[in-house]
Chains A and B, each alone.
Chain A
Amino acid sequence: MAESAKKNNEKSFRFYTRLHLKVLTGLRASNIEELLDLIKTVSGSSIYYHTHHFLQQHEQLSPEPPNDFAYWIANALNEEVMAEKIASIDTIQYHTIRALRNEIIRVIRDYTRENPRAKSRFASPDKVFHFIKSVSFILPTPYVAKDLKDFLNILKKVTTNSIYFHMFEARLRLDKETNDFSFWLGTSLKEVALAEKITSIDPYTYTMEDLRKKLIGIVEQRVRDAKD
């Protein structure tokens, strides 16, 4: 991956795409204490999976927040207040999986300390939480942007998997400070204001198709302004 990041430091931007495979861990939880213990110890790729896979599963309409822990706590344990606290963790603020994991642990700990009865709730056998982890495959697409116009055209036709990779995975899973698009726009094209505009989006509150539209809208506006 260092290779692809390096390439995208240069003048042109190669779009990569990200596909993933779901690997079952055999680890399961049926109450909040078991869940907490496993959240502390499972691999980072498992935390990543359970906080992100919904984004790619529901491209246009999202029936639930992109967080399996919150969904399970609400639907299997009927602890809706705790679930809401977890669902509303501001994931974009965390630059590493470790930091995100620690925040989820903190929220569950604080809630169960104040509401010890939550510990007595058990999921029915068909609603046990199964830990899954994500294996990511990153591959180059044929699309390369040399300027803002190229970038805009490619944004319109590339898969949402590619947008996902550059907006979410490259930042969080590969420990980068910002998303790939903002990095390239700011450093290579010196489009600092545009880069900041994209950085300030909270992508977790969009479906992937809506996020694509949002990005296209921002870049189109910039292209129009540049003409004027």
Chain B
Amino acid sequence: MQKIDRYEPIVGKSKIDELRMLAGYLKGKVIQHINSTAVGGGVAEILSKILPLMQELGVNTQWDIIKGSPDFFDVTKSIHNALHGKDTLITKEMWKTFNDISSQNIREMNLYGDIMFIHDPQPIALVKRKSGMRKSKWIWRCHVDVSAPDRKVWDFLSNFIDQYDAAIFSSAHFSHKMKPKQVLISPSIDPFSDKNREVTQDEIDAVLNKYKIDPRQKPIVCQISRYDALKDPVGVIEAYKMVKKYVDCQLVLVGNRAADDPETDKIYGQVLEAAGGDPDIHALLVEDIPYEINVLQRVSDVIVQKSIREGFALTVSEALWKAKPVVASAVGGIPLQIKHKYGGLLCHSIEGAAFAIKQLLNAPEYARKLGENGKEHIRQNFLLTRHIREYMLLFLSLYSDSGVVTL
């Protein structure tokens, strides 16, 4: 049995057959993905799931990683923040670091794809090699919320973006006027990954013991996110404090450390300070152990994603896949995942988040219905199989300009 067959009971046999048919049209093409890190963060996670399945379907798909120094990742983190619209200073020296490391990668990397698939700003400059790779098609996948980017940084990146054949965004709000074809493709979750699979009671007990959390005592409100200002963990604590006045609950904040994110310690310090020693606030800085995240989501009563900016926020899809009621900010790709009051509750402020959390804790039947609807929405639109299908459609569209393509 192939791995892809496992998805049949979830999405239906005919949808898997469609993937096989599409893959047949891509025979002979090599797809080369390039990003900046092999572990940590959503991009690496999605690639590690998609690649084996694409290979199995018969699409020759490869994945390579650029080289980068800590200085370089400091700069790309600043670029990331600036794209999110955060006021960020990028000095001449920092741009020089970006250009130097980019040039080194441009010189040294082995680029061989018929379709070059570049993820996020870190490797964006590789497109300079395009002219030397005849007939190659280049795709830039933007995983960042660029709805209101810092103008200077966006203009700098646009010089590269305009050389691509296609750019992919996770939300229509991120589109800009640009030369390449712009495609809307949401990321996805894998129902069989350790983060989403069913868990055993033993696993649940082990995780709860490890982090000293007892879900029987008080309902759990939980946010799973890196310790990053844009995920607003301090805002979540403020919302929790507003809820706590009326509903005795506990808050679990869970974040890991990604290799390309140097800001974790600073923000984690702010979180501890805001928590002020409240024994019902569990601010966990954890290793990236996916099944533990899975357990913590499953034992939660309400899951929160109170981000200020988001690329997409797959944690929302993960929570909904477990049929959990979710309260999340209406930013980035979140409104695509949650239809307000149908598959979760959207909010725009700390007060709004607090009100929604209270509402869900006090109305478990309503919360259950939202969770169920949310799960169905994820099944139809945000699982890995849909993602693979859209990537293959994009590859095929690179060779046609028509609005109706007959295969």
Q: What is the interface of chain A, defined by CB distance below 8 A to chain B?
A: 1, 3-4, 17, 19-26, 43-45, 57-61, 63-64, 126, 128, 130, 132-142, 157-159, 161-162, 173-174
Per the bound structure, the CA–CA distance linking A8 and B394 in Å amounts to: 28
Contact of A130 with B22 at beta-carbon distance under 8 Å, contacts A138-B405, A158-B14, A159-B14 already known: no
Contact of A157 with B407 at beta-carbon distance under 8 Å, contacts A24-B183, A60-B376, A126-B331 already known: no
The reply to whether the CB of B393 lies closer than 8 angstroms to some CB of chain A is yes
From 355 to 407 in chain B, residues with beta carbon under 8 angstroms from any chain A beta carbon are 373, 376-377, 380-381, 389-390, 393-394, 396-397, 402-407
From 151 to 178 in chain B, residues with beta carbon under 8 angstroms from any chain A beta carbon are 169, 172-173, 175-178
> Which of A17, A24, A63, A128 sits near B18, CB closer than 8 Å?
A17
> Which of B178, B331, B373, B390 sits near A21, CB closer than 8 Å?
B390
Residues on B with beta carbons closer than 8 Å to the beta carbon of A20? 393
Q: Is the CB of B393 within 8 A of A23?
A: no
Q: Is the CB of B15 within 8 A of A26?
A: no
Q: Is the CB of B403 within 8 A of A135?
A: yes
Residues on B with beta carbons closer than 8 Å to the beta carbon of A3? 406
Whole-angstrom distance from the CB of A132 to the nearest CB of chain B? 6
Per the bound structure, the CA–CA distance linking A41 and B66 in Å amounts to: 43
Per the bound structure, the CA–CA distance linking A58 and B373 in Å amounts to: 11
Per the bound structure, the CA–CA distance linking A22 and B405 in Å amounts to: 13
Q: Is the CB of B393 within 8 A of A137?
A: yes
Per the bound structure, the CA–CA distance linking A17 and B64 in Å amounts to: 34
Per the bound structure, the CA–CA distance linking A138 and B172 in Å amounts to: 24
The reply to whether the CB of B342 lies closer than 8 angstroms to some CB of chain A is yes
Residues on B with beta carbons closer than 8 Å to the beta carbon of A44? 403
Contact of A159 with B175 at beta-carbon distance under 8 Å, contacts A23-B181, A135-B397 already known: no
Interface string of B324-364 (1 = CB under 8 A from A): 00000011000000010011000010000000000000000
Per the bound structure, the CA–CA distance linking A19 and B387 in Å amounts to: 12
Q: Is the CB of B406 within 8 A of A23?
A: no
| Number of residues of chain B lying within 8 A (CB) of chain A | 43
Per the bound structure, the CA–CA distance linking A1 and B342 in Å amounts to: 38
Residues on A with beta carbons closer than 8 Å to the beta carbon of B331? 126
**Can you list 23 pairs linking A and B with CB atoms under 8 Å apart?**
A21-B390, A22-B183, A23-B183, A24-B183, A26-B175, A126-B331, A126-B348, A130-B173, A132-B172, A132-B184, A133-B403, A135-B393, A135-B403, A135-B405, A137-B22, A137-B393, A137-B406, A139-B18, A141-B14, A159-B14, A161-B18, A173-B404, A174-B404
Per CB-CB distance, the 6 closest pairs between chain A and chain B, nearest first, are A130-B172, A24-B175, A24-B182, A22-B184, A159-B14, A139-B407
Q: Is the CB of A1 within 8 A of B389?
A: no
Per the bound structure, the CA–CA distance linking A225 and B390 in Å amounts to: 43
Per the bound structure, the CA–CA distance linking A136 and B331 in Å amounts to: 28
The reply to whether the CB of B12 lies closer than 8 angstroms to some CB of chain A is yes
Instruction: Write the chain B residue with the least CB distance to A139.
Output: B407
Contact of A1 with B373 at beta-carbon distance under 8 Å, contacts A21-B393, A141-B17 already known: no
From 287 to 344 in chain B, residues with beta carbon under 8 angstroms from any chain A beta carbon are 330-331, 339, 342-343
Residues on B with beta carbons closer than 8 Å to the beta carbon of A61? 373, 376
Per the bound structure, the CA–CA distance linking A20 and B389 in Å amounts to: 9
Per the bound structure, the CA–CA distance linking A139 and B404 in Å amounts to: 11
Whole-angstrom distance from the CB of B383 to the nearest CB of chain A? 13
> Which of A21, A64, A139, A162 sits near B183, CB closer than 8 Å?
A21
Instruction: Write the chain B residue with the least CB distance to A136.
Output: B404
Residues on A with beta carbons closer than 8 Å to the beta carbon of B396? 137
Q: Which one of A59, A63, A132, A135 has the greatest number of beta carbons of chain B within 10 Å?
A: A135
